[in-house]
Every structure is written in structure tokens, then in C-alpha cells.
Chains A and B, each alone.
Chain A
Amino acid sequence: MKAFLMHRDRDFDLEQPLPPNAEALEQDLELGTILDAMARGDDFLREVARRTLLTGLADADAIRYRQDVLADCLEHPALARRLYEVAIEGILTKRQARFFWYRDSPDALLAKSRGMLRLLADVLVTLRTVADEHAADVRSEGLTELFARFQRELDDAYLRRIDRHLDALRFRRGTLVSAGLGRANRGSDYVLRAPRERGLLERISPGGPPSYSFAIADRDEHGLESLAELRGRGIASLASALAQSTDHILGFFGMLRSELAFYVGCLNLHEDLAARGASTCFPEPRPPEELELRARALYDVPLVFHLDSPVVGNEVDAAGKRLVLVTGANQGGKSTFLRSVGVAQLMSQAGMFAGAASLRTSLSSGVFTHYKREEDASMTHGKLDEELARMSELADLIRPGAVLLCNESFASTNEREGSEIARQVVRALVESGVRIVFVTHLFDLADGFHRERGEEALFLRAERQTDGTRTFRVVPGAPLPTSHGGDSFRRVFGLGPASADAAACIRLAGADPRR
């Protein structure tokens, strides 16, 4: 019995190794926020979501398979949640087993397994009922196949068969065991047998094969014990097999849960985003060689959970471009933009929806980040070494077709040096087939590329209106040699247009704005 909701032809692998830079990705792209929203406290779900997000799919077909299942779930959220609940119900029967007093005897093991199977069978019936009720509602290949499978393999005949076995396993009419002669002519090779079905004629006619009976007196405790042991020998292998079957079914529910967890997580995230007025779309996965990257209203999903006001989206057209350089004012939304690209890429390749009104993107061989580390705020000598070392580690992992997101890389040295290093790195990587989105203050770097290879790269700038206010959007624009420190100066020294911020700054500085 398979679920195949995450992949068309194989189980979801909880043990699949994560990429070596998984931790950096989580940290730099603030995946924790997304995962928390998906999990809503369910640790298992969080882990499944985390692994799915970090280990993307490699081909468009697989992505569409998942998107289809997700689409079904989004359309019928109660159904998806119900299925998940049923899977958990199955797993929880294990807890009930604690109430079966378990001694180390075949009878006790058999009783315990029988009890568990009774509970598990009930959950299987529930699964089948859900399938019956909703088979017509779903359209995705994954869910359609799943329900068909439930209806096929848990059909009435089968469920009745289980019932019959569970009843027969009570041995209400006694136990039938075959044996041979072993050491000391005692019984050996005990095998539990099913009584032969005797035809009516056979049953009513006298005679028949000979048999000899005897009874053990009630007060003969030793005798009864001995008989119980004999019987135990007969049912021992059945008891073990039944216990194994129980384990297998429990395993099935565990597997079902892990196949559904991701989708339930997506439902949770979708609800939260919708509640905050953020829209989503199913991205169109394109082959890597197309160098596709076009989005409308692309926003940073983690940021949604940190702001009370709606989040700004960006229009992006980087089709055919391997290099995107983003320059401009501080706090202008550059890092946010960078993150939104990374998160969108991961979510797309996981088969999820993306934080945008529409998105077309090429599949990558991996997403990598090279961010300034928070602790580096001091920018002392030696930090450059650290940056270079980290970049070198990435160089070992990056393959052609990867996407690299650089945030203020090599800013830990002066502009000339940093630009030169960055230029070499960027040129080498881009020529090796890596796509780079580079947020930077290094004017020399950006300007250099702009003058020499303007058409090959996309230049974006944090938007700044004429009066100095930021829109937190990035828009196409050539790099400027200034990051508008002049704005700040005028503000502080009261030489420019007054604004609430300016007044606040001057008050802080101790000067009177009206003078």
C-alpha cells in the first residue's frame, strides 16, 4: 500500500540527506518563519516541511505533480486535514496498546496484536470511507490514484476478510495444531492449522477418520499449564507474524502521515498569507537553459509575518540574464528583494505556491547564499578572510545551473579591493553557468559591469522618490555613485524639505527646526 503523494513513483524519504548549506539557507532566507507558520506547533510537520523546502525537485514534471495535489488540497482543505487526522489516528492506536497486559507468552502477544489490529482495522475503514466520499472531488493524479488504491485494496471483501480473521483468532472453537514426533517422541514442528471445511454430508455421516480425545481435570493445574504451553508452541509463529503485521500497518500510517504533512503545512501557510492579504500563485517551472525569471508582485514571504501593513511586491524581468545587480539606498528593500527571490526559488522547486501574483522561473541545481554575517558588524581586519573562506566553501558545492544570492559580499574591505575580488568571482561563476543576484554598495563593481556588459545583466535600484522617501521597491536603474547620504545630511542639518523624520532627527540633535 503506497501513498505516492510527494513523488509519482516513490515514497517520501525522511532520511534523504540535506544539502550541506542547509543551515545557511535557513538562516539567511529566514525559513524559520515560514516553517513555523506551516507547522502551527506540529514538530513532525515542521520537519517534513523543512526537508521538502531544502531538497527541491529537479524536473518540471515532478513539480507539476506536486502542484496538482496541492491545488486539490487548496480546493478541499477540510479533506486534506481529515486525511492527515486519520493517519495520526492510526499511529495513536499504538498508545492504546499499553493497556494490553503483555507477558512474554504467545497467547499474550497474540491477544495484544489482535487488539491492535481491531483498532487499526477501524481506522482503515475510515480511510476507505473518506475515499468513497471524495474520490469524485479530486483531480490531481496523486490524490486520484490514492483514493482509487484505497477503494481497491480496502474493498468490502478485504475488510470482511480482516473481520473474519480477527474473529477466528479468538479461537472460540478451539485451536487446531499439527505436529510431528521429535526428541523423546514429544511433539515438534507445531503448525497452526485452519480446520478443514467439512461438507454437510461429511458432518452428518457417522464414522469418519478416527480420533481419540481426553480431558484434563479442572484441578489439574500442572496439566492445564502444560496444555497451555503446547498450545503456545502451536500459535507462537502466528503470534509473531501477527505482531509483525501490526507493525507494518502502523508503519503504513506513519508513511501516510509523512506524505500528507507537507500539504497540510502548505494549507496552513496559505491561510495565514490570505488572512494578511497576501496573494499566491503556482509558479511555472521552466528548463534551466531558458534562464527564465519573471515575476509580478513578488514579495518576501517571511516579511509578511513581521509587518502589520501589507508587504511591497516587485515586478521583475530577468529573463535571459545570468547576473542581476541591485544597488541603492540603505533600508531600501534590497535585502528583502534578494530574500524574496531565494524564497520563491525554493518554494517553486518544492512544488509549492510562491509569494507573487505570477511567477515563471527556471529550475536551478541549488540555491546558495553568501550573506554578511550579523556578527561581522565590526568589519575588522580578518573578516575578509572569513568571507573569502565561506565563498570558497560554496565554490566546492556550486554546480552549473545554481542560483547564488550575494548580500553585500566583500564589503569588509575598501571599495576598490572589494570590487576587484567580486568582479573576478562574479565573472568566473557566471561564465560557469551560475546565476547571481548581487546586492551591493560597491559602485566600482556595479558600474564596471554596467559599462562593459550592460546588456548581459539586469541592474536594479532601490526606488527613491524625488523628495527622498523610499518605496521599498526595487526598480530597473543604473547604479549611482551615491547612496543618497546627501538626503540624510540635509535632513539632519535642516537644509532640506521638512518631514516628520527630519524633525525628529533635528530634535534629537538638539537643534531647533524653526530656526
Chain B
Amino acid sequence: MIRSVEAMTRTDLEPHLTSVRAPAPDGAGFRSILFGAGDVDLADVREPDVFRDLNLDQVVGAIVGQDEYDLRPFFHAPLRDVDAITYRQEVFHDLETDDVRAAVHAFAEQARRVRQHLTLVETQHYRYETERWFLDAAEIYCDAVVALRDALNGLELGSRGLRSLSAFLVDYTRSEGFASLRADARLVLEGLARVRYTLRIRGGRVTVSRYEGEVDYGVEVEETFARFRRGVVDEHRLLLPDSGTMDHVEARIAERVARLFPEEFRALDEFCARHVGFLDARIARFEREIQFYLASLEYVEGLGKSGLAFCYPAVSTRAKEVDVEGGFDVALATALSGDRGALVANDVRLHGPERVLVVTGPNQGGKTTYARMVGQLHYQAALGLPVAARRARLFVPDRIFTHFEREEDISTLRGKLDDELLRVREILEHATGDSLIILNEIFASTTLADSLLLGTEVLDRLLALGCPAVCVTFVDELASLGEETVSMVATVAPDDPSERTFRIVRRPADGRAYALAIAAKYGLSYERLRSRVGR
């Protein structure tokens, strides 16, 4: 169960919480379970640039898997509206209830079958076969919609989204279009169920007639030998292979059956003509969009099984306060696949005038992971997802910008500084005070003096922008540039400086030479090496 109560029901002075329960909407209002009444054009949506740096590509990959429903565009379109975000959080919350989830899952299963049937309508080419797939699709569709309507009607729903859907389903199933679809389908199916014909097969010749009550020959034969029956024998069951679709011989048979039962098949023809495009666009859309929730929940609950906490964050587009307790890098968590012990959670806090987290400390200390986590948390929140933290208050940026140095990338050393500077300039030009900027290990490949100079210049401009940012660097001096900067340090174990704790804490940068401590551990300090080699 994802922590959400506190985040969603506080009604004190905090200006950025919007969780007022709207009155139950009417059915006409339902459009999208993801976007509420708003309409979003996802045609030009691509994977955001920050995905790679923040390892969000891995996370989304893990969530969507084969991506049968093409969910990726949804993950590539973060929201900017607090109400829209809350709208989604409400739906997530509802889906955490077993009954709601079960009802939606059941519907999704049936909807998948409908789609499979309709695909067969497209791919198969025998007339009576495709018409039957179409008819069956309609029947499954009607049953699924009614089932979902009934299930949701009987449940306590808290989200505007599902309540709106529920009302819509009631109206929709009462509509004439739907009622006639359902009734017609039933009638035609009943007619076809009554059809019984015989095949006389002789060599390659087939004669199709109506069934006239001929006797079950198998029963006759069985009766003849019944007098020998004693005890249990092997059933001699035969496994008969089946492709599942009609072949040309069956098609020829079907044509003749249609001639023998003209009324029933005419009814089938008419049904198909009358109900073309029966699938309601909003329901089709719901079928796809609800998978965004189901897939995400499955992912989150999977990690939750290893004891990792998620929560619904309080969000705001105005206040730039950030308050995270027990946050963690969700991509790392997946990679560690449930090894709870190995993952360290950290806090993030930006209060009042604070804007930039300057993170320093030893190599491999978890600084980059920390920076990623901050980026991930904000992105997750902007999608309306539960975020990887025990408690969180986050702000919704207009855009996230990242620049991550690849530490091991020695090959591109030449000209790298220029590239970096170019990139940083671009970021500074496009970012606003409402953006979020994550800079990881910039200017690491140049001299200390240059790094300090360049770093200071960049940081000054960042501060001038006034947007929240994370800056990971080895230049300790940057950590104390002003009241807007917050110094965060990756800590080591008190007794063994070579051991990283991966805990990032608020502390002045202390400029210790961690590298030396590691060297000493391997007997490579100056004294030791002399005594080892010098002999």
C-alpha cells in the first residue's frame, strides 16, 4: 500500500496541495483516464533527452516490457498541471484496492480478446469466418463493458477519473446504439447456435445437408460391446491439432451451410453491416490508457515486495520547496533486483531561499546516483506516478535539463571541454526559473583552477536563474557560494575512509583526500610503496 494519506489530505496552510474532492461528474464528461477532460496530442512526442542521463529509459523499459499497448509516449509526456497530476494520483490510489484492480484487469483481458478478434477480421479473408469473428468480438465487447459497469457501480471509488468513467458506462450502456448492438448480437448468435448440419465425406467428395436427426453411431457401437465392460481402462484420448482459423475446405463447407440456413446467415450479414465500428472510441482509449496505471503499479509493487517505499508526493508549480525523505534511485533498485540491503535511501531538502544542491565527496560515493534520483523523482511526480521515496514534496518544473559526465570516457578527451561549455550554455539559455537542472561532474577533465573558475561562473548564472538545481562536483569551494547553495557530502565510514556509505548528508564540504585513503588501503601510499619496492 503506497503511502498517500498524508500527502493527499492535508488542508493546512500549504498552498500547493490540491486534493479537494470534486462532486461526482456526469457521464458526458468522461474522455480520458490519463488526461481528464483535457486533450493531448502525442503525435510528436519523443523520448526526452534527459531519459538517458537519468536512466529513465531503463525504468520505462522495465515497466512497459513488450509494450503491447504503446505506452511509451505517455511516459514521454510529463504533465505541468498540478490538478492533472492529482487526477492521476487519485486513479492510482483507487487501483490499489483489490476489487477495483480485479474489475479493471478482467475488463482489460476481455478487451484484449476483442482486439484479437478484430485483428482476425482484418487478416482473415473468408467471409463467414470474418463475420463470425466480428460478431463474437461484439459479444465479448458488450459483456466486458457491462461487467465493468456493474463492478464499478458496486465499489467505493475515490478518483474523479474512475467515477467519471463509471457514470459514462452507465449512460453508454443505456444508449440505443449499445442496446441494439447487444440485443442484435445475442439474437444472431442464438440463430447460429441452432444450426446443425451433416457432412457426408466420401473420398474427396463432400455433401453438406441439414441434420435430420440421424442417430449417434458411436453410441450404437459402444452399446454393442458394453457387455464386456469391466473396470477402468485407458481412455485412448487423441490430441487433435488445430490452427484456430478457417481453411479453404471449411470455407466451402460454410458457404453451403449458409445456403441451407439462409435466414440465420442473412441475419449475420446484416449485423455486420449495421454495426460497423461498434467499438466506442472512449472505451478503446480507456483500454489503452488504463494500462499505464496497471503496468506502473505492477512495477512499483514488485519493488515494494523487497521493502522499498513509494509514496504519492505533494506537488506544486509555484513553490520551489523540495522535501524528500528516504528517496532512492529507482533504476538502481531494479538493477539490484530486490537486494534491499544494498540500496541506500537519502533525503533531499530545499527550503526558503535554497536552490542549488552542491554535492561533493569521494569517488564512487553515490553522488551521481543521488543526482539521478533527484531528477527521477521530479519526473515521476510530473507523470502522476507514485515516486520512489517514503515521503515527498516536489515541485513540477517546466522542463528538466541534465548534463552528465561519463566518468570513464577517456576517449573523447580532446575537445571535450568545449563541448561541455557549449552544452552548459544551451542549458542556461533555455532554462527558466521554473526548470530543474542537474549537472553531474562538469569540468572534471580540466585543471583545478579552471574548474573553479568555470564552475563559479556557471553556478553564478544558475543562481541568477533561480531554478532548483543539483550540481555534482569535486570543487569543494562551489559548495559555499551563497545562501542559495546547500552543501551535500557523500560520506564514508568513520573508521575506514575507503568504505563508502552512499549516504549523502547536509554538511560543509571537507576537502579530504579520499583518493589517498584508498591508495593506502592497497598498500600504495608513498611510505608503504617505498618499503615494499625499495627493500
Interface set of A (CB-CB < 8 Å, partner B):
1, 104-106, 109, 153, 161-162, 165, 168-169, 173-181, 183-187, 191-196, 209-218, 222-224, 226-227, 229-234, 236-245, 247-249, 251-252, 255
Contacts and interface: CB of A to CB of B under 8 A. Distances in A.
Contacts of B225: 245, 248-249
A231 B240 contact: no
B252 A214 contact: yes
Interface in B200-241: 200-218, 220-222, 224-225, 227-231, 233-241
A237 B218 CA distance: 7
Contact of B216 (A186, A193, A213, A255): A193
A192 B256 CA distance: 20
B66 interface: no
A194 B220 CA distance: 9
A442 B350 CA distance: 110
A385 B204 CA distance: 84
Central interface residue in B131, B203, B207, B218, by most chain A CB within 10 Å? B218
A216 B212 CA distance: 25
A104 B227 contact: no
A210 B209 CA distance: 6
B9 interface: no
B247 to A, nearest CB: 5
B318 to A, nearest CB: 58
B114 to A, nearest CB: 14
B202 A173 contact: yes
Contacts of B239: 104
B238 A239 contact: yes
B195 A210 contact: no
Contact of B210 (A183, A186, A209): A209
Interface residues of B, number: 67
B262 to A, nearest CB: 11
A249 B221 CA distance: 14
B192 A181 contact: yes
**B interface: dominant SS:** mixed
Nearest to B248: A223
13 contacts: A176-B199, A178-B198, A181-B132, A185-B129, A186-B129, A194-B214, A194-B216, A215-B205, A217-B204, A240-B235, A241-B218, A252-B228, A252-B230
A203 to B, nearest CB: 15
B504 to A, nearest CB: 60
Given A185-B131, A185-B254, A252-B228, A240 B221 contact: no
Contacts of B128: 185
B228 A178 contact: no
A251 B197 contact: no
A252 B253 CA distance: 43
B136 A183 contact: yes
Given A104-B238, A179-B199, A184-B133, A161 B224 contact: yes
Contacts of A231: 201
Contact of B235 (A169, A232, A244): A244
Given A161-B224, A173-B202, 10 more contacts: A165-B220, A174-B202, A183-B136, A186-B129, A192-B216, A216-B249, A226-B250, A240-B235, A249-B228, A252-B230
A248 B233 contact: yes
A342 to B, nearest CB: 36
